[in-house]
Amino acid sequence: MPSDKLVFVATLVDKRILSLLNISINGIKIYRSKGLLAHILKRKHYKAAKYFDYITDIIENPDYAGVTDGQIELVKIFKDNIFLSIKLDIANQIYYVATVFDVSKSKIDVYCKSGRLTKLDK
């Protein structure tokens, strides 16, 4: 993904999440593509689109976190439950927001029970 199509959104510094990745650095810079909102709308994730401007908050203050197949998965509880997935572009060594969508509380519970997500205590 060329860097001219990316926008910096946040630095992930939460030690609990970084330890899930077995990363010992102080933080990971996270980017999003300029076309992320179009992607969200194309997938008909209209509830998630309402929280597009909260992506930084979701990354910096998630309520749940996990790592699945190398992807960082974060959930933030607002009026809706918003699931955000972060992938690594291996070729360019850049972490970017891959998708954002709403998720039900029951799905979060299933993910926690299976170990896919962990509730982060504040």
Say whether pLDDT at 20 is over 80: no
How does pLDDT run across 70-102, given as a tens digit for each residue? 899 999 999 999 999 999 998 888 999 999 999
SS (H, E, C) the chain: CCHHHEEEEEEECCHHHHHHCCCCCCCEEEEEECCHHHHHHHCCCHHHHCCHHHHHHHHHCCCEEEEECCEEEEEEECCCEEEEEEEEECCCCEEEEEEEEECCHHHHHHHHHHCCCEECCC
The domain segmentation of the chain, as residue ranges, is 3-119
Confidence grade of residue 12 (pLDDT, cut at 50, 70, 90): very high
pTM of the predicted model as reported, rounded to 2 decimal places: 0.92
